[in-house]
Amino acid sequence: MKYLVYCLFFLLSFASLQSQSTGHSLSVEVSVDEGILNSFSRSGRLFIFLTKNPDLEPRNQTWPNPYSKTHIFAINKNDFPQDRALLFGPDQNWTKTTEWGLSNVPEGIYYMQALWDQDTKESRTGAPGNLYSSKKKIEINSSKKVAVLLNQQIEKRSLQEHPLAKLIDLKSDTLSSWWNKEMRVKASILLPYGYQEGKSYPIRYNVAGYGGRYTRLNRLLANKKFMEWWESDQAPKVINVFLDGEGPFGDSYQMDSDNSGPYGYSLIHEVIPKIESEYRGSNDMRTRFVDGCSTGGWVSLGLQLYYPDIFNGVYAYSPDAIDFKYYQLINIYKEKNAFYNEYGYLRPIMRDQYGEPMLSMKEFIAYENVFGASDTYLDSGGQFSAHTALYSPKGKDGLPQPMFDHLTGEIDSLVAKSWEKYDFKKYAEKNWKTLGPKLQGKIYIWMGDMDHFYLNTGTRGFENFIKNTKDPKSDAIIEFSPMEGHCSLFSHKEILLKIKERLKKSE
């Protein structure tokens, strides 16, 4: 019996060693094209993207989509030479999304791309001015050195020209003072057909899904069916404002933060007054509305709750967690670990519409760790970077205090407690006596009961509170659609029609 155990142990050990030795090392020699040397900065973060999907642009796979199968490696470099190629070896201190490294790449055909993140103004790698290489097909069947040339630069954003489209580009005195440097806030505007200067119009403030930029208006302008409707007599005469989601740690969430600064104050006291003085011809709260989906659903609901005298209605679809007892599948006030549940299983963060888990919280954070210059999610520009910047106190290192450890998932209960200020259920409970009367007739929330990110749990928690309110009894409308996923029923046209109906009832 003992002999059999030894044999089994030997076979398992041999199999383990074999599995560890099946990959091959990959070194990457990076150089900069002479044509863009004048815009090259020697300090930045190098990203290497590897995917087996030939139809993808690897550098754009910055979100852990389980279908893209893109593997990402990153490393900081402060003295990149301008005049020669620089070799990045497999044994350097890469932060990565994979269990394997560049010293042990599994065999196969890959499509590789390099990106040099040198921009310091924006929070994500898609920022204008960053450099990247062309996509290159490589076959890994032995140890290799691959040369890549940074020969392209991400262009500046621009808003499509259209008679009804306008750009707001405002220097925020509030944010500039807070950051001690110039900070600008942008938004785009879609005016109603037949717009007349000086006339008073209702106004809609739309908040994007995570990280959405003001240039998303371009998609609407290019949508022939929508624009035909918008330029007809059937569309409501409403000014549409598309707020910009960019912030220092990712999406600003349009709210005040210990880390990103007073974005909420800037919106209410700088951005809105500027837009409405120039285009609306009115400062009437009764005809001011806010909406959005996903991040936009959370932000729009938050703006209505925290600024109840500014907005007269919110249409929030698939909002991020609005009850932190259900921060997706994590009770942040009770549980000890964000990656593993109480049964020791990896906690899923994403599922398909039929409930099949697709991605774990641990995998998601591994992606964000790669995009953070600190090698953590805290400054990744991603979802949990932005959440932490908004909800957490500022840390001693200048980064937000992490609610959970970036490698182990261990939850810091003291930091979790500090998140209460943006737990909408707790906020509404605490302030209902004065807040409740100001919210009557103003709240509409939609959620798919098979939300891809388990956000229906937090909305259910908030709904339980709403159902039991008194003095006043809330008339908030919270709808759950069975078997619907994340943002699946959100529609710009439907939001505008809801606003039109609301305006009719107010006449």
pLDDT by 10s per residue, the chain, length 507? 444 434 434 444 434 444 445 789 999 999 999 999 999 999 999 999 999 999 999 999 988 877 777 999 999 999 999 889 999 999 999 999 999 999 999 999 999 999 999 999 999 999 999 999 999 999 999 999 999 999 999 999 999 999 999 999 999 999 999 999 999 999 999 999 999 998 999 999 999 999 999 999 999 999 999 999 999 999 999 999 999 999 999 999 999 999 999 999 999 999 999 999 999 988 999 999 999 999 999 999 999 999 999 999 999 999 999 999 999 999 999 999 999 999 999 999 999 999 999 999 999 999 999 999 999 999 999 999 999 999 999 998 999 999 999 999 999 999 999 999 999 999 999 999 999 999 999 999 999 999 999 999 999 999 999 999 999 999 999 999 999 999 999 999 999 999 999 998 877
C-alpha 343/C-alpha 457 separation (Å) is 19
Phi, psi of 111 (to 5 degrees): -115, 120
CA distances from 287 to 102, 171, 204, 264 (A): 57, 26, 8, 20
**Topology adopted by domain 165-323+423-506:** Rossmann fold (3.40.50)
The kind and range of the H/E element at 455 are: none
Nearest to 235 by CA among 269, 198, 193, 276: 193
- Chain centroid, CA 13 distance in Å: 43
Helix (H, G, I), strand (E, B) or coil at 316: strand
Q: Residue 500: CB partners within 8 Å, gap ≥ 6?
A: 236, 238
Buried b (16+ CB within 10 A) or exposed e, 292-324: bbbbbbbbbbbbbbbbbeebbbbbbbbbbbbbb
CB 446 within 8 A of CB 481: yes
**Residue found by looking up tokens 């209902």 in the block:** 432
Q: Output the CA torsion 382→386→392→394 (10° steps).
A: 90
* Structure token digits, residue 132: 């990247």
pLDDT on residue 311: 98
Nearest to 274 by CA among 167, 373, 384: 167
Annotated domain spans of the chain? 22-153, 165-323+423-506, 325-421
Helix (H, G, I), strand (E, B) or coil at 291: strand
**Residue found by looking up tokens 């790669």 in the block:** 370
C-alpha 490/C-alpha 233 separation (Å) is 23
**Topology adopted by domain 22-153:** Immunoglobulin-like (2.60.40)
CB 250 within 8 A of CB 124: yes
* Structure token digits, residue 3: 């002999």
Beta strand spans in 82-192 (E): 86-88, 95-96, 108-117, 131-133, 136-140, 144-153, 165-171, 184-190
**Residue found by looking up tokens 């624009």 in the block:** 227
* Structure token digits, residue 240: 């549409």
C-alpha 119/C-alpha 507 separation (Å) is 50
* Structure token digits, residue 405: 């450890």
Q: Residue 413: CB partners within 8 Å, gap ≥ 6?
A: 333
Instruction: Give pTM, 2 decimals.
Output: 0.93
Number of helices (H), then strands (E), in the chain: 13, 23
pLDDT on residue 83: 86
Helix (H, G, I), strand (E, B) or coil at 259: coil
pLDDT on residue 3: 43
* Structure token digits, residue 5: 């155990």
CB 331 within 8 A of CB 306: no
C-alpha 216/C-alpha 220 separation (Å) is 7
pLDDT on residue 16: 41
DSSP per position, 114-144: EEEE--SSSSSTT-TT-EEEPPEEEEESS-E
C-alpha 408/C-alpha 403 separation (Å) is 12
